[in-house]
């Protein structure tokens, strides 16, 4: 059963959440500027390219990770979970800002011109930076929910929990979320040789794979 939250605790956490949002907004704004400065200026990716689709869809994917992290950060006193949540929120806000900046630098709209994840169903590059399977990802259908996304019902449930119950629910959701992010990034690596995009996708695969192992250990420690 969820623990009842007192008015004073809710007020304190609301102020903390507001402060966190301000910090993350500043992080994203800085990353946006970095994204514009670091985006290549030669031949920009097209509107339906894998790079553009990845930038749009991963912004959405990252936004939910930030949301989940901010929820649990206010519902636990565990220092390991709070630090993990802070790291996820800040790093993924920064990365989302970079991807927003790419699209602006490429003179492409932020809005999708086709169903989400369409880019992931297309064939990979021959001799690309990832594993070339020679065909699109048959496990995903364009327009379906992105891999690893929590449902609105799951997010609502997390908001009702506190303490260890919130920690366990968050870790379960975020492990699945990270696995989805890794899958999307690996799919991009099969479909792009754009240096700046490949660099970020590679770092996401490495960082989130490491965090998955860490979160699995945290979850196991909580029974």
For residue 192, give Cα distances in angstroms to 65, 81, 221: 24, 35, 39
Residues 6 or more apart from 73 whose CB is under 8 A from it?
20, 81, 82, 85, 86, 89
Long-range contacts of 143-147 (CB under 8 A, 24+ apart): 143/115, 143/116, 143/117, 143/118, 144/117, 146/57, 146/60, 146/61, 146/116, 146/117, 146/180, 146/184, 147/179, 147/180, 147/181, 147/183, 147/184
The domains of the chain are located at 12-130+137-221
Rounded to 5, what percent of the chain is helix, strand, coil?
A: 70, 0, 30
Q: What does the pLDDT read at residue 38?
A: 55
Distance separating alpha carbons of residues 214 and 84, to the nearest angstrom: 10
Fold classification of 12-130+137-221 is Ferritin (1.20.1260)
**Per-10-residue mean pLDDT for the chain, 223 residues long?**
47 51 54 54 88 98 98 96 98 98 97 96 73 51 93 98 98 98 97 97 98 98 94
Q: What does the pLDDT read at residue 135?
A: 46
Residues 6 or more apart from 192 whose CB is under 8 A from it?
49, 50, 51, 54, 125, 128, 129, 198, 201
What sign does the dihedral 72-74-77-79 (CA atoms) show? positive
Q: What does the pLDDT read at residue 130?
A: 43
Tokens 């985006």 label which residue? Answer: 39
> Distance of alpha carbon 210 from its chain centroid, rounded?
15
Distance separating alpha carbons of residues 3 and 160, to the nearest angstrom: 8
Q: What does the pLDDT read at residue 140?
A: 79
């Amino acid at each position: 059963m969820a623990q009842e939250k007192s008015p004073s605790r809710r007020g304190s956490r609301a102020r903390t959440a507001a402060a966190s949002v301000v910090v993350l907004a500043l992080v994203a704004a800085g990353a946006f500027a970095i994204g514009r400065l670091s985006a290549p200026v030669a031949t920009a990716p097209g509107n339906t390219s894998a790079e553009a689709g990845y930038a749009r869809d991963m912004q959405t994917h990252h936004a939910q990770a930030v949301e989940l992290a901010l929820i649990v950060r206010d519902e636990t006193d565990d220092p390991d979970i709070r630090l993990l949540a802070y790291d996820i929120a800040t790093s993924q806000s920064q990365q989302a800002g970079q991807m927003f900046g790419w699209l602006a630098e490429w003179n492409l709209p932020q809005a999708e011109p086709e169903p989400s994840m369409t880019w992931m169903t297309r064939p990979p590059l021959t001799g690309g930076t990832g594993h070339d399977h020679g065909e699109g990802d048959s496990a995903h259908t364009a327009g379906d929910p992105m891999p690893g996304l929590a449902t609105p019902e799951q997010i609502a449930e997390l908001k009702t929990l506190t303490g260890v119950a919130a920690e366990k629910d968050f870790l379960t959701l975020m492990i699945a979320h990270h696995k989805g992010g890794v899958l999307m990034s690996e799919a991009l690596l099969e479909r792009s040789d754009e240096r700046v995009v490949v660099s970020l996708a590679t770092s996401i695969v490495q960082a989130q794979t490491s965090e998955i192992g860490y979160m699995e250990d945290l979850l196991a420690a909580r029974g």
